[in-house]
């Protein structure tokens, strides 16, 4: 016959063990997430600061930020997301050709509306294979590519992550 006190003690020990295991799992997952790098900013070296700032404010709708460093060099800070920024740094001597495989990406809620604005601003865009329309990735996300005034490639997609 099973002793009821032993059963109760075993159940209590099992509950304590489960709580301890879950606590350790949560702490480990939180620590791993806190230690993993997350996006902060992108810095681009540009030739014509006024032209680049106008592009990113008008086309990408990024909002200017105050330079917290009050830097001697000409740097413009733009808000690109809740906790991300774009830093434009004046001083590039030329505008080289750039490979589309080297790009940075942003998502929008309505890619068709974004493309309409690009059309109105006479900004040419393309798919990854060169067509002047969006392409659909294997995961169903639609995307387009275009270049800024310094030939940096930008991808805009409708990812809902």
The secondary structure of 42-98 as a DSSP string is EEEEES-HHHHHHHHHHTS-PEEE--TT--SS-EEEEE-SSS-EEEEEE--S-----
Residue 22: the pLDDT is: 58
Query: Of 102, 106, 90, which is closest to residue 48 (Cα–Cα)?
Result: 90
Residue 18: the pLDDT is: 47
We find that the CATH architecture of domain 36-93 is Roll (3.10)
Residue 79: the pLDDT is: 96
Helix (H, G, I), strand (E, B) or coil at 91: coil
Q: Across-strand partners of 104?
A: 154
In the chain, where the domains are located: 36-93, 95-161
Mean pLDDT by 10 residues, the chain (161 residues): 64 59 60 79 96 98 89 86 94 96 96 97 94 94 98 97 82
Q: Across-strand partners of 107?
A: 157
Which of the four CATH numbers 3.40.50.12240, 3.10.180.10, 3.40.50.150, 3.40.50.460 does domain 95-161 have?
3.10.180.10
Residue 33: the pLDDT is: 61
Residue 69: the pLDDT is: 78
CA gap 137, 158 in Å, rounded: 11
């Amino acid at each position: 016959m099973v002793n009821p006190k032993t059963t109760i003690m075993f159940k209590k020990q099992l509950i304590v063990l489960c709580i301890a295991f879950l606590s350790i799992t949560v702490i480990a997952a939180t620590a791993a997430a806190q230690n993993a790098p997350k996006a902060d900013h992108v810095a681009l070296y540009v030739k014509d600061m006024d032209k680049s700032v106008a592009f990113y404010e008008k086309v990408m709708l990024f909002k200017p930020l105050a330079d917290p460093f009050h830097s001697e060099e000409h740097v413009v800070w733009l808000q690109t997301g809740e906790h991300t920024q774009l830093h434009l740094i004046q001083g590039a001597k030329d505008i080289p050709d750039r490979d589309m495989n080297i790009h940075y990406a942003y998502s929008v809620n309505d890619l068709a509306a974004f493309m309409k604005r690009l059309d109105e601003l006479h900004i040419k865009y393309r798919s990854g294979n060169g067509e002047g329309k969006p392409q659909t990735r294997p995961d169903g996300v639609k995307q387009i590519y275009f270049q800024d005034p310094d030939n940096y490639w930008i991808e805009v997609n409708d990812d809902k992550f």
